[in-house]
Every structure is written in C-alpha cells, then in structure tokens.
C-alpha cells in the first residue's frame, strides 16, 4: 500500500506540476474549493467555518463555492496531520486552523506538522476562553472559586474540550497566576461535552469557548465568572477579565480561527486568497450570522496572522516548557 | 398542549414540500448502502442556507427520521445495514427476505418504525422538562456502566458460539482503540498512516457487512445455480398491521429501550436497535427462532431506532447538548440559523421549536406511508441478478466509505476489514458483536478515564463508580446480563447440534492465527509508552488472550462445530472479483478517478461473473448499457445531489 501510494503521488505530482505551469493565475479558482475542518460536524469550528465560507461563490468573492470536509479526531491532530502530509498544494484544498491548538500540539510533539508547515490566509474569529460554573454553583465570582481552590488543592475540577487546547492553556495560566492546583478534566466530544459536564454538575466548573458559554448563559444553564482576555468582550460587558479580578492571565488562550493552505502552494494562488478572503469574511451575511450565533469575530489579514503565529509559537514554547 | 397551536406551520406549501421531499429523499439515502443518517444530514446542511430557519429544520428533521428508517431497506434486502442503528434489523430481516418474505419484513419494519417514532416524538412533546433532567443524570460513571452493559450483550448477539461472539466483540473493542487516544493524545496501534484517525464506524460498518456479501457472491462463480431467484411473495398490509400489534411485547421493549437510549447524551442511538433486539430475545419464549427470520427481533430493533429520534432531541433542544452524532449535526444546522437551543428555546422561538417538533410527528407518519407504498417494488431489488448486485455493492462501498470524511484511508480500512470479516465469517464469527465492540469501546474507555480523573481529584477513587442509585441500578443490570449470558450459553450448547462441516485443520489454523494475533496485541499493549494510555488495551488484550486460548483449545479438541470453512472451488471463483476489487480500491480509484475506475471495475466484474456465454454479443451490449446506467445513477447521487468531491485522478 505504501508503494502504490508513492507511485501515485509521483505520477500525480508530475502531472500536477505540468498542469499547473500552464494554468494562468487569472483562472483560479476554476472549481469548488474544499476546506478541511479538523473537528466534527456541529462543533464550533465546523459551524463557524460553514458560515464564513457561505458567500465564497459570489462573483465579488472567489467565484467558486467552498465545501467543508470534516476530518475529526484526537483534538484536531488527525485533520492537520492529513493536511500537512497529504493535501494537495494547488489551492483547491484549504484547512481551518485553530490557534493555540495546532501550535501547542506541534510543540508537544508526536505530530507531523509545525507552525512552518502551513501558510496562513486570513483569520476570522477570536473566541476567548471563559470560566463557567453551573447555575446552582455556590461560587458567584472567580475570587471565591480560587479561594476554595487554594484551600483544597487538586479538588476543583474544571472541564475543558481536550488537552493542549485553548481551555487547557487557560487552566495552566490560571494555576500559575493564582498559585493554586486545579484538576483539569479534558472531555471527549468537544466544547459541548465539556459544557454538559458543567451543567450536569459532574465537575465544579469549566473552561469553555465564549461563544458556547454565552449561549448557555443566555439559556440560564451556566454563569460566566471571568474572561481570559486583555479587555472585556462586547458580548459580555459585565463579565470581568481575569486580570481585573487580580489574576495575571493574558490572551494567549484565545482561540483564533482562520483559513490556511499547505506549504508549497503557488505564491500567486496564496496572493489571490489573501486578497479576497478577508473581504469575504466581512460580508454582511457572514457577520450577521456569526453575531446571531454568538461567535466573536476578528478579521486579520495574512501578514497579521503570520505575526500572530510567530508570537504564539514563542510564547507557547515558554509556557509548555514546564509541562 | 401548546404544540397544537403550531400545526398550521407544517402545512404551509413550502414547508410541506420540504417535509415530503426530506422524507422521500431520506428514505432513498438511508436505503443506499454506505450512506448513514449523520452523513445525509450533514450533506443537506448547505441546502438549508437559503431557507428560513423553520424550513431548514423541517428538511433536516425529516431527513434524520427517514434515513434511519430507510436504512432498514438495505439491511433487509442486502444484509447491509444502512446505519449502525439497523444492524439488528439485518440479522432477522435478511433471513426473512431470503425466504421470500421481503415485503412482509419491510412492512413490519416501517410500521414498527412508525409506532416507535410517533411515541418517541410524543415523549418529546409532553415530557421534555422531565426528560431533560434525566439526561443530565448520566455522568461519566453512569455512562461507563451503560457501555459495559452494552458490552455484556455482545456474547449472545447473533452467535452460535459464545466464545466466538465474545472474541468478535473483543476484536471490535481493540479496533476502537486504534488511533490517538482522545484524552491523553498518545498514539496507539497506529501501524499504518491511514489508521491515525482511528477506524471510522461507518467505514467499518460498510466493510464488515457489505464486503463479505460481495466476496460471497463472487465465490458462487458464474453458474450460481443455487442462487435462488426466490419469488418475493406479496403480503397484505393488513396482516402486517395485525402482526405488529400482536407482538406488543417486542414493540414495547423496542420503544422503551429506544427512548431511554436516545435520551442519554454520549451513547448515541446507534446501539438502540441492538440492545432492543437483545432484550426482546431475552424476554421471548421463542428465543431459538431469533436470527432465522423471526419477526420479534425485527420489530423490536426498528421501533427502537425510530423511538430514539424524538428523545435524542431533548438534550439538544433544552441544553444544546447533542445526544447522538446526527443530533450534533442538527445542532450545527440550528446554530447556523441563529437558533440557540436552550431552556428558553420554547419561550423565545416557540414557532420554530413547535413547528419543527410537529413536523417530526407528521414526518414519522409520512415515512410509514411512503415506505410501505414503495415496499412492494423495492423488495424486487432482491431479485437483481447476482453479478450486477455484487458489482453494484462494490462500487457503492467505495463511494460510501469515501463520502464519510473524504478520506482514501477510510476506503482502504473498509476493504481490509471486509476481507478479514469474510474469512472470519467462514469460521463462525459474526460481524454484529464486532461492530458493537467498535462503537462501545470509546464510550467505555473515555468515561472510565474521565471518571477516574474526577474521582481522584475529589478523593473518592472507587466510591465514585459505585455510589448513588443510578450506578447501583446499572451495576445490577450488568451482573444480571452477564449471568444470563452464561446461563443461556450453557443451555444452548447442550442442544446445539450442527454437523461439523469442515476439516479439523482449517479450524485449527484459524484458531492458531487468532491466538497469535492476540499474543501480538498483548505484547504491544504491555510494552508501549505512555503506560497509562494503554490501561484499557492491557485489560482487553488479557481478556482477548484468554478467549483466543479457549477457542484454540476447542479447535484442537475438535469441539468447534460452527462455521462452514472455505472450499477450494469457492476460493478459485472469488479470485478474479477479489483482484479487481483490490486493484480498484487500492490503486485505480485514486489514480484514474473514482467514476472511471468504478465504471471499468463494474463492467469487468459483471462480465466475469455473468452466466451468459462470452461469445454472445447481446450479452456484451446488455452489460455495457447496465454499467452506463448504474454509473449515471451513482454520478447523479454522489456528484450532483450530495456534492461529494471525489478524487479526480487522471480522468474523473
């Protein structure tokens, strides 16, 4: 099977190279573009990706529709491994990225990608982590929760959507900042499962996406105690940041989401995408639906994302050294 | 009774059209081997972008309901479950179809689905607040015991041999551990790149059920004399009606099990049908008839997997927690339209929520009507000539397994598993326990690990798993289930009287190979790092080794009596088909493009196995036309309707 794979790749890449050299850039894109999402259908990244790629078919956008391919597994590793090693770099296969997830995973090791395996195109969302507790919880603010944690090291269980995801990073930072020992419980099943654990009382509290927590709070099932960001969020004007509450946690756990292409994609294709995709993200229909879904947006262009990735790489290397 | 106020919304022209379209489309998609309800709903989401929220939901809800019911069609006629929910249906349903009672099986199946489904939606309408609380009562500990309860069912499910049933289940459990461990991120048993993501359940389902059927058809050669053109008897609908209600015990067991299982988030309705089948077998005075074409199991399974639909929406609508993979996709669909499920959904958007629920109710009834209406001529599918059928299923397996995640890895895994299952089946192993193990493995392990983490953090490592009324109830059920399995095996083995049909050497050689396999798994489990991530594999491989040893002992002493073995003649017959399949799956599809490679393979397989003499020109023409026609249908279905992007390779 490996041999056939190699021959196939060789033949394919040869014909591809021959083909590409004769394709005029002005023709890109000629057919629908696939966007790989490294998480299951129905999750936050998935439905946000579906919304932001809704208008790709418009004439003033890319002119060709984008379709989503779910490649879930192992917190995103499966999809990104595939993207780094098997996706064709011809501009017809993109992927959604989640920072800090893929960077943290590559620093930890055991995966086939790192921050240099991909070329960013544009960023669409910035979903900070928030600390939540169930609606019947005795802890009404972050301070009382942390005080309890200080007296009872290792007793405060906090659910999160997995290891080395934004929630986990926030938990690590909070532990350091408040000098407490927390029990981070990664769940299988993404943010929804982590939220369920909080609502059901399986855990003392949880760290989750602002978007999911916002909706759960609106429905009256949880209370958001604090936001892990540098400024308060527009969706939650009354919720303090962890910094304001006295815990020095910055925005390194913010879940940035955007689109990227594999390394080796022709520069002309990257330039076309980098020019058109940010505008696509800012289309009224897209921003309207994102707002309605409680998903905070932050559109960043390619250069800004490159800088962000580099900065995150440096910070996470430092943070995860002690892990 | 608020829901009564919103019925008019369902009957608005566009909504009704979507409901009918979704139902009919769902039935067709569900009946296609290889397309699961989850995939069908996911593939329909882009269509809903242009619609109003209510209309989009109606479409998705109708698709959800009918794909589950439609899956019974291919389960009954082809022994290929359309979804994990239909595995139990395939067990007895196909036996009935082989006896010519296909129409009856289909009618029973749709009627039971309708009854179960309507009751499930009624529960949703009237008991949502109560049910929501119950959904939350299942934490990691309870889910773990529930998964173990499912595992105990494995031994008695569709197996003439208790050992082989358990071994099958263990193999399934082991396969479920392949890939990255979800909680700690360790790599386990990844001996090939395509396994990095683990084994996808749908791809495995297609492989384990469809491929052995295909290879089996190959092994019959060109003459296929004994291949029945069993005449499908027509069956009066009224009789089916009476029968369904006569079997009220099976019907109630099915509905209750389906509703309960559907309600619990994290278990998924995938096992509803299997558990209902098993429970109705345990409570039935006619146990021996199960698996040979007895209607009780069929009724229980089908009513369960539709009863599951309504309650699975309870945690979704009230807490935004999907109770099954398909419900997760529905959640995405809801969010895209700006509808946030939550306890206030019914206050903020009563029109959307109630109209949607009412449409599910009407949808169940429509599904029964359409299903039964088409049952008569659909059951004629069982009469399609074998060479066409085998070629068609092969191509469908390729497309179906690829469509799940657009992954060639899934296709390869599908075929390898199928090949393995073909040989295992010849020696008395069954696919149903294996799939059950595959589905339950992750649930059992994830909840055990998570529960342990919480328990350790709270300082009560053991008590966490045994304290509380729900835990105790579940543990009691587990003990009862194990006890019953042993007892029934003991009783059954005394009366079991099959003539040993195959040579001792074949039994011994397979048993030895399995034993070697078990030893390998044990060795890998105990020597891999990080050690904590391999806790479950260690326990499992220990159990597997004991079972493999017991099985080998039985083979050596000539006690093994099940299985028919593989004859030399059969092996020769199946070789051409097998070689074409291997070439298609592992090379041609990706290199030449799915459609071209499939068309060529279809034509070759059909021609090789067709009984018409080679020299007859009309035969060649007929085969060309049918190949073209079939590929056109495939193209319309996958490329146009579902918009699955398949590798183009050199051509298309």
Domains of chain A by range and CATH? 28-126+255-320 (3.40.190.150), 129-228 (3.40.190.10)
Q: Give the pLDDT of residue B268.
A: 64
| C-beta separation of B450 from A187 below 8 A | yes
The residue ranking higher by pLDDT, A113 or B335, is A113
Give domain limits for chain B.
2-216+235-496, 568-641
Q: Is B187 on the interface with A (CB under 8 A)?
A: yes
Termini Cα distance of chain A? 38
Q: Could A219 and B183 be called an inter-chain contact, meaning their C-beta atoms sit closer than 8 Å?
A: no
> CA–CA separation, B241 vs B140, rounded Å?
41
Q: Could A163 and B342 be called an inter-chain contact, meaning their C-beta atoms sit closer than 8 Å?
A: no
B433 has a pLDDT exceeding 80: yes
Residue A112, SS3 per DSSP: coil
Q: Give the pLDDT of residue A3.
A: 46
Q: Which of B179, B453, B457 sits opposite A155 (nearest CB)?
A: B457
B420 has a pLDDT exceeding 90: yes
Q: How far is B177 from chain A (nearest CA, A)?
A: 12
Average pLDDT over residues B212-224: 83
Q: Is A34 on the interface with B (CB under 8 A)?
A: yes
Q: Could B180 and A71 be called an inter-chain contact, meaning their C-beta atoms sit closer than 8 Å?
A: no
B229 has a pLDDT exceeding 70: no
Q: Could B319 and A81 be called an inter-chain contact, meaning their C-beta atoms sit closer than 8 Å?
A: no
Which of residues 210 through 249 in chain B touch A, CB cutoff 8 A?
none
Residues of chain A contacting residue B198, judged by C-beta atoms under 8 Å apart = 73-74, 78
- Range in A20-34, A270-284, B103-117 with the lowest mean pLDDT: A20-34
Triad A231, A234, A237: Cα angle to 5°: 80
Q: Give the pLDDT of residue A306.
A: 95
ipTM rounded to 2 decimals:
0.79
| C-beta separation of B358 from B18 below 8 A | no
Q: Is A47 on the interface with B (CB under 8 A)?
A: yes
Q: Whole-model pTM?
A: 0.84
A190 has a pLDDT exceeding 60: yes
Whether the ω angle into residue A29 lies within 30 degrees of 0, i.e. cis, is: yes
Q: Is A240 on the interface with B (CB under 8 A)?
A: no
Q: Could A41 and B344 be called an inter-chain contact, meaning their C-beta atoms sit closer than 8 Å?
A: no
Number of residues that this document lists for chain A? 323
Q: Give the pLDDT of residue B232.
A: 64
B493 has a pLDDT exceeding 80: no
Q: Give the pLDDT of residue A22.
A: 42
Q: Which two tokens stand for residue B466?
A: 């045994």
Q: Is B586 on the interface with A (CB under 8 A)?
A: yes
Average pLDDT over residues B175-191: 80
Q: Is A71 on the interface with B (CB under 8 A)?
A: yes
B231 has a pLDDT exceeding 70: no
Nearest Cα residue in chain B from A217: B342
Q: Is A16 on the interface with B (CB under 8 A)?
A: no
- Range in A197-206, B96-105, B623-632 with the lowest mean pLDDT: B96-105
Q: Could B328 and A71 be called an inter-chain contact, meaning their C-beta atoms sit closer than 8 Å?
A: no
Q: Is B341 on the interface with A (CB under 8 A)?
A: yes
- Range in B250-259, B283-292, B547-556 with the lowest mean pLDDT: B283-292
Mutate to test the interface with A, among B332, B334, B649 (most CBs of A within 10 A): B332
B335 has a pLDDT exceeding 80: no
pLDDT band at B497 (very low <50, low <70, confident <90, very high): very low
In order of B56, B156, B171, B419, B626, the CA distances from B178 in angstroms are 37, 25, 11, 18, 40
Q: Give the pLDDT of residue B340.
A: 77
The residue ranking higher by pLDDT, B382 or B41, is B41
Mutate to test the interface with A, among B136, B142, B185, B456 (most CBs of A within 10 A): B185
pLDDT band at B64 (very low <50, low <70, confident <90, very high): confident
Q: Could A41 and B407 be called an inter-chain contact, meaning their C-beta atoms sit closer than 8 Å?
A: no
Q: Could B184 and A195 be called an inter-chain contact, meaning their C-beta atoms sit closer than 8 Å?
A: no
pLDDT band at A21 (very low <50, low <70, confident <90, very high): very low
Nearest Cα residue in chain B from A219: B342
Average pLDDT over residues A85-93: 89
Maximum average pLDDT range among B171-175, B279-283, B375-379 = B171-175
CB-based burial of residue B103 (10 Å sphere; 0-12 exposed, 13-18 middle, 19+ buried)? buried
The residue ranking higher by pLDDT, B495 or B554, is B554
Nearest Cα residue in chain A from B141: A202
CB-based burial of residue A34 (10 Å sphere; 0-12 exposed, 13-18 middle, 19+ buried)? middle
Nearest Cα residue in chain B from A291: B338
Return the HEC string of B548-562.
Answer: HHHHHHHHHCCCCCC
Whether the ω angle into residue A197 lies within 30 degrees of 0, i.e. cis, is: no
A274 has a pLDDT exceeding 90: yes
Residues of chain B contacting residue A55, judged by C-beta atoms under 8 Å apart = none
Nearest Cα residue in chain A from B416: A1
Q: Which of B325, B406, B649 sits opposite A69 (nearest CB)?
A: B406
Q: How far is A200 from chain B (nearest CA, A)?
A: 5
Sign of CA dihedral A7, A11, A12, A17: positive
Q: Could A218 and B322 be called an inter-chain contact, meaning their C-beta atoms sit closer than 8 Å?
A: no
Whether the ω angle into residue A100 lies within 30 degrees of 0, i.e. cis, is: yes
What is the rounded average pLDDT for all residues in chain A?
A: 86
Q: Which of A110, A162, A200 sits opposite B136 (nearest CB)?
A: A200
Residues of chain A contacting residue B180, judged by C-beta atoms under 8 Å apart = 73-75, 77-78
Tell me the pLDDT tens digit for each residue of A298-316: 999 999 999 999 999 998 8
- Range in B79-83, B226-230, B507-511, B587-591 with the lowest mean pLDDT: B226-230
Q: Is A57 on the interface with B (CB under 8 A)?
A: no
The residue to which tokens 């407490």 are assigned: A180
Residue A208, SS3 per DSSP: strand
Residues of chain B contacting residue A218, judged by C-beta atoms under 8 Å apart = 340, 342, 344
pLDDT band at A119 (very low <50, low <70, confident <90, very high): very high
Nearest Cα residue in chain B from A73: B197
Q: Is B377 on the interface with A (CB under 8 A)?
A: no
Q: Could A215 and B49 be called an inter-chain contact, meaning their C-beta atoms sit closer than 8 Å?
A: no
Q: Where are the alpha helices (DSSP H) in B236-336?
A: 237-246, 248-263, 272-282, 295-307, 309-319, 325-336
Q: Could B185 and A74 be called an inter-chain contact, meaning their C-beta atoms sit closer than 8 Å?
A: yes
Q: Is B50 on the interface with A (CB under 8 A)?
A: no
A37 phi and psi, to 5 degrees?
-115, 125
- Residues with Cβ within 8 Å of residue B108, at least 6 apart in sequence: B240, B243, B244, B295, B298, B299, B302
Q: Which of A51, A197, A215 sits opposite B336 (nearest CB)?
A: A51
Mutate to test the interface with A, among B42, B141, B189, B197 (most CBs of A within 10 A): B197
Q: Where are the alpha helices (DSSP H) in B430-588?
A: 431-458, 463-466, 469-495, 504-527, 535-556, 568-583
What is the rounded average pLDDT for all residues in chain B?
A: 83
Q: Is A78 on the interface with B (CB under 8 A)?
A: yes
Above pLDDT 70, what percent of chain B? 94
Mutate to test the interface with B, among A88, A132, A196, A201 (most CBs of B within 10 A): A196
Beta bridge mates, A224: A132
Maximum average pLDDT range among A46-50, A189-193, A298-302 = A298-302
pLDDT band at A15 (very low <50, low <70, confident <90, very high): low
Residue B187, SS3 per DSSP: strand
Q: Could B335 and A47 be called an inter-chain contact, meaning their C-beta atoms sit closer than 8 Å?
A: yes
Q: Which two tokens stand for residue B254?
A: 């099915």
Tell me the pLDDT tens digit for each residue of B20-43: 988 988 888 888 776 777 777 877
- Helix, strand, coil percent values for chain B (each to nearest 5): 75, 0, 20
Which of residues 123 through 152 in chain A touch B, CB cutoff 8 A?
none
> CA–CA separation, A106 vs A320, rounded Å?
11
Q: Give the pLDDT of residue A208.
A: 92
Q: Give the pLDDT of residue B496.
A: 52
């Amino acid at each position: 099977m490996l041999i056939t794979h190699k021959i196939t790749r060789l033949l394919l890449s040869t014909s591809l190279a021959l083909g590409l050299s004769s394709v005029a850039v002005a023709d890109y894109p000629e057919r629908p573009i696939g966007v790989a999402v490294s998480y299951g259908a129905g999750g936050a990244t998935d439905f946000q990706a579906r919304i932001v790629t809704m208008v790709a078919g418009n004439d003033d956008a890319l002119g060709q529709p984008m379709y989503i391919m779910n490649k879930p597994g192992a917190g995103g590793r499966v999809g990104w491994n595939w993207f780094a090693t098997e996706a064709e770099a011809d501009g017809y296969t993109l992927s959604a990225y989640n920072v800090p997830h893929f960077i943290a995973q590559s620093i930890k090791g055991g995966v086939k990608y790192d921050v240099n395996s991909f070329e960013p195109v544009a960023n669409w969302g910035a979903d900070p982590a928030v600390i939540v507790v169930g609606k019947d919880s005795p802890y009404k603010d972050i301070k009382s929760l942390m005080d309890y944690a200080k007296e009872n090291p290792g007793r405060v269980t906090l659910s999160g959507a997995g290891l080395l995801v934004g929630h986990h990073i926030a938990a690590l930072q909070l532990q350091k900042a408040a000098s407490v020992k927390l029990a981070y419980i990664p769940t299988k099943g993404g943010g929804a499962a982590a939220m369920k654990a909080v609502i059901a009382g399986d855990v003392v509290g949880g760290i989750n996406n602002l978007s999911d927590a916002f909706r759960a709070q609106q429905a009256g099932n949880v209370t958001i105690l604090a936001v892990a960001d540098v400024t308060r969020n527009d969706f939650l004007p009354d919720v303090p940041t962890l910094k304001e509450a006295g815990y020095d946690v910055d925005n390194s756990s913010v879940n940035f989401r955007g689109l990227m292409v594999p390394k080796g994609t022709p520069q002309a294709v990257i330039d076309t995408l980098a020019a058109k995709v940010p505008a696509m993200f800012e289309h009224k229909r897209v921003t309207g639906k994102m707002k309605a879904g409680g998903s905070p947006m932050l559109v960043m262009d390619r250069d800004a994302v490159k800088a962000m990735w580099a900065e995150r790489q440096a910070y996470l290397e430092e943070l995860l050294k002690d892990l | 009774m608020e829901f009564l106020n919103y019925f008019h919304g369902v009957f608005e022209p566009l909504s009704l059209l979507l409901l009918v379209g979704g139902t009919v489309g769902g039935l067709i998609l569900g009946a296609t081997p290889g397309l699961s309800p989850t995939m069908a709903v996911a593939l329909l989401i882009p269509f809903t972008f242009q619609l109003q929220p209510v209309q989009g939901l109606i479409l998705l809800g109708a698709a959800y309901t009918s794909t589950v019911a439609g899956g019974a069609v291919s389960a009954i006629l082809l022994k290929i479950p359309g979804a994990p929910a239909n595995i139990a249906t395939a067990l007895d349903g196909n036996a009935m179809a082989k006896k010519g009672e296909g129409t009856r099986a289909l009618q029973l199946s749709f009627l039971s689905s309708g009854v179960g489904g309507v009751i499930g939606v009624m529960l949703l309408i009237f008991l949502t607040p109560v049910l929501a609380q119950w959904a939350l009562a299942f934490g990691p500990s309870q889910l773990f015991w529930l998964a173990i309860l499912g595992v105990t069912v494995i031994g008695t499910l569709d197996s003439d041999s208790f050992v082989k049933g358990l071994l099958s289940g263990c193999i399934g459990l082991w396969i479920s551990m392949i890939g990255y461990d979800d909680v700690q991120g360790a790599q386990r048993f990844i001996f090939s790149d395509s396994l990095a993501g683990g084994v996808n359940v749908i791809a495995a389902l297609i492989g384990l059920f469809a491929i052995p059927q295909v290879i089996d058809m190959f092994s019959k050669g060109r003459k296929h004399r004994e291949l029945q053109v069993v005449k499908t008897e027509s069956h009066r609908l009224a009789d089916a009606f009476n029968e369904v209600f006569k079997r009220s015990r099976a019907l109630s067991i099915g509905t209750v099990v389906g509703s309960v299982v559907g309600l619990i988030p994290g278990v998924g309705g995938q096992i509803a049908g299997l558990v209902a089948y098993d429970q109705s077998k345990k409570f039935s005075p006619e146990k021996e008839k199960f698996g040979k074409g007895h209607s009780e199991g069929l009724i229980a399974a089908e009513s369960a997997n539709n009863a599951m639909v309504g309650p699975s929406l309870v945690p979704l609508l009230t807490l935004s927690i999907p109770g099954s993979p398909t419900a997760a996709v529905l959640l995405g669909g809801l969010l895209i339209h700006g509808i946030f499920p939550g306890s206030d959904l019914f206050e903020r958007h009563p029109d959307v929520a109630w109209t949607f629920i009412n449409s599910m109710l009407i949808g169940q009834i429509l599904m029964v009507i359409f299903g039964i209406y088409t049952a008569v001529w659909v059951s004629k599918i069982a009469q399609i000539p074998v060479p066409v059928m085998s070629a068609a299923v092969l191509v469908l397996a390729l497309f179906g397994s690829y469509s799940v995640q657009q992954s060639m890895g899934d296709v390869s895994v599908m075929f390898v598993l199928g090949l393995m299952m073909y040989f295992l089946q010849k020696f008395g192993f069954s696919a149903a326990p294996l799939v059950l193990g595959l589905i339950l493995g992750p649930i059992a392990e994830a909840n055990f690990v998570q529960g342990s983490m919480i328990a350790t953090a709270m300082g009560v490592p053991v008590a966490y798993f045994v304290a509380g009324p729900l835990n105790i109830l579940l543990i009691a059920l587990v003990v009862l289930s194990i006890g019953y399995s042993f007892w029934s095996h003991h009783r059954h083995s005394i009366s079991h009287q099959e003539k040993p049909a195959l040579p001792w050497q074949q039994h011994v050689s397979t048993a030895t190979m399995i034993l070697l396999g078990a030893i390998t798994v044990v060795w890998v489990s105990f020597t891999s790092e990080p050690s904590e991530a391999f806790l479950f594999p260690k326990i499992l491989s220990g159990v597997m080794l004991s079972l493999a040893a017991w099985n080998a002992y039985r083979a050596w002493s000539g006690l093994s009596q099940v299985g028919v073995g593989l004859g030399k003649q059969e092996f020769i017959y199946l070789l051409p088909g097998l070689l074409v399949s291997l070439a298609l799956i592992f090379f041609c599809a990706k290199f030449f493009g799915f459609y071209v490679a499939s068309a060529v393979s279809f034509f070759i397989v059909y021609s090789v196995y067709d009984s018409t003499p080679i020299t007859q020109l009309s035969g060649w023409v007929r085969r060309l036309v049918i190949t073209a026609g079939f590929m056109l249908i495939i193209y319309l279905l996958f490329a146009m309707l579902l918009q699955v992007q398949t590798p183009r390779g050199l051509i298309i």
